[in-house]
Chain A
């Protein structure tokens, strides 16, 4: 027997072993396809999401009785499927809608995932969920806020996050409260990028303010991942709006902060729409020159020992980062999806779709500050909610509105640096 034959036989042996192991593991593993930006301009988001979902899988697949009411935490694995383990199959969307679509196709047709989870950018969620819809596979989105995603008549699309219309209401209410305390909030400027997220959220907010009889005074659009934002900052400096609402991903949020400082421009109120402003690397890079920026969030850490505090600790150990609103919403969404599969007792798409529709989680079964999770006919969570937080010291966000849950009163005007 030549060496070639020996290697050939060894390879065959190894392969048959691998197949056997694969077959044994397969009946106890539920695969969920996860589409995230693992590379490209928003890769930091993907890296954080991966760490968060790994923590979520740890909680689901192992026994964590310390997490109280959180579904699936108490015992190891999915009880409804005989203790099956959840396994996320990560796919990189590169922040690109076309790539996201291809990845959804690959996950569904080749990896045979039970459900798809993702895809951060609204523009990517738009395309990747269309594939899941075509193949009749449940798609759960936990963080894309463009309102139109749930307006497409999709049957397999479910979304746990509060969306642009919810935030628009939060912003109008918050600014009305600020006005009542004497702040000037008459002229509002919207600053947003030209992605699906930027334009659709800007339109929704703009419509909400118009309805309140206070049309937006200035709309500043810019191309995403800009190389230079001096023109836009000077435009704002020239028009002097009282309030600026920023709808930006991390890269542009950082460049805006730097450019505003170099051109010495501060609005009275700077209100950010999550996204880049919730990225921990934004705070590390330019938090010190963005003191007093308001942001929206559904994530509030409870006292030590509470579910949110324990999870925040686990996440910090895994990733080295503080938990932020985006990863918290992603983790919560993943739990909702896993819980639905557990209750379905099967990975049959129609059964999972049915249990997702029947989802009715109460506030005390969640790790995040929603009032609960319950989907309407369009697949939108009607109990999602959020609050306003402020980066008062340039290092940590504190909740400032609504008053009932506020740690500190809002500080005005915007301090900057």
Chain B
């Protein structure tokens, strides 16, 4: 029994780390530009398809697929920023919501049209099977995803708080005009933010692809998790997304095991509502 419980918690932590990774891109964009990117889940989906195409065309595993997915999605991020976000940022809130929502549908159904609606899957052992130690079973692909997710999320946090690029990005987020007076170009900074956010999301997608099914609508399923994680962690806070992601992963696994999976969403969303009530800025968000 206790072994199983440990397995449940470890599984939850690994899953949570990946939640954190694909949420950090959303929180970054949200924090910097006050833009709610409804296409976020579909960026994850694109990352998964890039990894899949890399595997089917070149036979490459995550060593090739993950960096490529990061690059491709970073490019997509920049393109999306200049083609869409830069303009709708000036518009009303509704334009932003509809703009990114439209982008989500465009991405989803382009992939749908190109690849069809069939479920795809990476081969099981592409990352090297499953390790068992002390009765615990840990899948290499999940371990890889969890560890990379932790490192990248921490790296993102350090980038934002410890480098001059990060300071510039935060300056633009704080006050565009003041930043411009200091010689920082908001356009460039925001494009970089989109590249980083989308790149991290693509990386998350490529890592998840190793243990999840791949289908054009998978972004719907994963996008909701990202929104809850970001709201719980605090808008714009990367460490908040990390803690919230881990928390949600463990709560989901534990409640799924102990009281039945049908109820696990109730636990997560009750917690979410309580947070909105008592601490609307989230775990680590600033008021």
Contacts and interface: CB of A to CB of B under 8 A. Distances in A.
A214 interface: no
Given A43-B215, A230-B257, A281-B118, 4 more contacts: A39-B112, A47-B118, A280-B118, A285-B213
A279 B119 contact: yes
B82 interface: no
Contact of A230 (B1, B216, B255, B256): B256
Contacts of B255: 231
Contacts of B217: 39-41, 43
Chain B interface mostly: helix
Given A225-B221, A234-B7, A194 B118 contact: no
Chain A interface mostly: helix
Interface in B99-156: 109, 112, 116-121, 124, 130, 132, 137, 139, 142
A152 to B, nearest CB: 25
A234 B4 contact: yes
Contacts of A118: none
A288 to B, nearest CB: 8
B124 A261 contact: yes
Interface string B75-117: 0000000000000000000000000000000000100100011
Nearest to A47: B117
Interface stretch (B181-189, B259-267, B278-286): B259-267
Interface string A43-67: 1101100000000000000000000
B11 interface: yes
B119 A282 contact: yes
A221 B130 CA distance: 26
Given A47-B117, A250-B119, A254-B121, A231 B256 contact: yes
4 pairs of A and B residues whose beta carbons are closest in the complex: A231-B256, A285-B121, A43-B117, A231-B257
Interface in A209-260: 220-223, 225-232, 234-235, 237-238, 250-251, 254-255, 258
Given A234-B257, A254-B121, A262-B130, A47 B116 contact: yes
Contacts of B121: 254, 258, 284-286
B15 interface: yes
Interface string A136-151: 0000000000000000
B272 interface: no
Interface of A: 39-41, 43-44, 46-47, 194, 220-223, 225-232, 234-235, 237-238, 250-251, 254-255, 258, 261-264, 279-282, 284-286, 288-289, 417
A281 B256 contact: no
Interface residues of B, number: 44
B8 interface: yes
Contacts of A251: 119, 213, 215, 221
Contact of B261 (A231, A258, A261): A231
A223 B262 contact: yes
Interface string B243-268: 00000010011111110111011000
Interface string B2-24: 00100110011001000000000
A41 B261 contact: no
